[in-house]
Chain A
Amino acid sequence: MATKASRSAARVMMAPAVVLLLGWMLVPLTMTLYFSFKKYLPMRGDSLENGLDWVGFENYTRFISSSAFWPSVQTTLVMVGGVLAITVILGILLAILLDQPFWGQGVVRILVIAPFFVMPTVSALVWKNMLMDPVNGIFAHLWRFFGADPVSWLSDASLSSIILIVSWQWLPFATLILLTAIQSLDSEQLEAAEMDGAPPLSRFWHIILPHLSRAITIVILIQTIFLLSIFAEIFVTTGGAFGTRTLTYLIFQRVVDSQNIGLGSAGGVYAIILANIVAIFLMRIVGKNLDA
């Protein structure tokens, strides 16, 4: 149906979005690349007007050879992986549960998706102060009630705590997408399987899960993009201490705490590379589900 005319019209209509995003990508990226080859210490008086000194790949080698670099990559991967695992697995279970008939479906659905509406800063503050505080937090009260010593969540189980907080925020998103997918499942097919005497687990494995694969792919893809740049949750809770410094947070420390823009920009370039490696990896594993 695509005529020549509609092709050129399509190009015109796509142009604003493409041009804007191209600019949004290229301008900061070019500046970041430029800064990454420069000595740019604003606190020492370096500024664009005065001209910046060229330092070659020094920022790149310094950033990658810092003792904080590889642990931060690892932390990033563990955090993203942990949140993905939790949200996808719990999301599937929750979606199946919410798809069952029960009283008060609408209300429960509202309760379950509510965390998605909470801004990251607020959810981090609430979890840190109201729930995980080792003296006045609800968890501490619970632990004491059962005769256990309260846990200092954000120092003793720091990374797991942050994974928990972020998972709480993203679980609704995963659940929503998976729920929509489950609802589109042909119930006759399921009933037929039930008639044939297929046990629930086998029905799940052979009918539900394959049907969800596309939705799972999309959950993973979208969440990964957001999770790679998680910032507020770490800033509010641990400030990067106790092994919670992700690559994004390390860049923040270089740019804001150390005021070394060149070094931070080199870190930014590494972060893009890491994101693309993750993306290629994801495409390899789940990409075929995206064909359409």
Chain B
Amino acid sequence: MPETIDKVLHLILEKHQEQLLEKWVASQLHSGEFRSDLVREDELREQCASFVALFVKCFSQKPDTDVTDDVWAPMAALLTDIAKRRTNQGFTPSETATFVFSLKRPLFHLIKEQSQTDAQVTERLWEISLVLDKLGLFTTEVYLATREDVIARQREEMFELSCPVVQLWEGVLGLPIIGTLDSKRTQVVMESLLESLSSTQSDIAIIDITGVPVVDTLTAQHLIRTVSAAQLMGARCIISGIRPQIAQTMVHLGVSLGDVVTKSTMAAAIKYAFEFQGLEVNAKDNKYIGR
């Protein structure tokens, strides 16, 4: 690869920029792979025009393959925008990468027409190919990053959905936990429970772990800590819904809940909470009893 910039190649690119754009747009529109259901023609034309303009500009400044360089930053920004938009429009990552790769055909034609010798053609094709490949792969990376964002956001939302802090009665909060409690999740859940205790000034919180399949040492430790922290704040935590298998595993593992108040069911815990608050639940009329 030549160290010096191939000036002729840049002149060719600049001179035939318009023609290149027209050919590229036309080839895409008629390729059979054009998704007219997903993108409008004018939008495609606009994207192509920006891409070609930036490509010619950046390539003439730095025909390097390092697209993360500052010179290529506007191009990276454009591709990020295009890739994100296409992801939302429903394009597959291959289709988005193909958008970049499809420039090769009209571009190679142009180079072949305008070059003098075969050696020149090979060299120029190689050089341009390297850059276009990088740019195509870059769109795939953007696609992946976009997906990861979506996954992370969904996970956050599931977090919040799966462990709502609910008010069961005045001064009594409930926290039904469903699913496996990993360290991070426990921490988030417990933090929000303590905040809720404080903001609602509730005296008692019931943590119900009926929906938790496994309680390991670390989870137990988090539970105990939360109970102790609630106590320091002047509130009380009860743990309910410990299943027999879990009780067995906990004893086998040597996991101790210390002197935390535990109740077998949520109902028993609510009863305890009511008693603690000096409340009593009575049947209004005993005609329903025994039915």
The answer to whether A and B assemble together is: no
Instruction: Identify the B interface with A (CB < 8 A).
Output: none
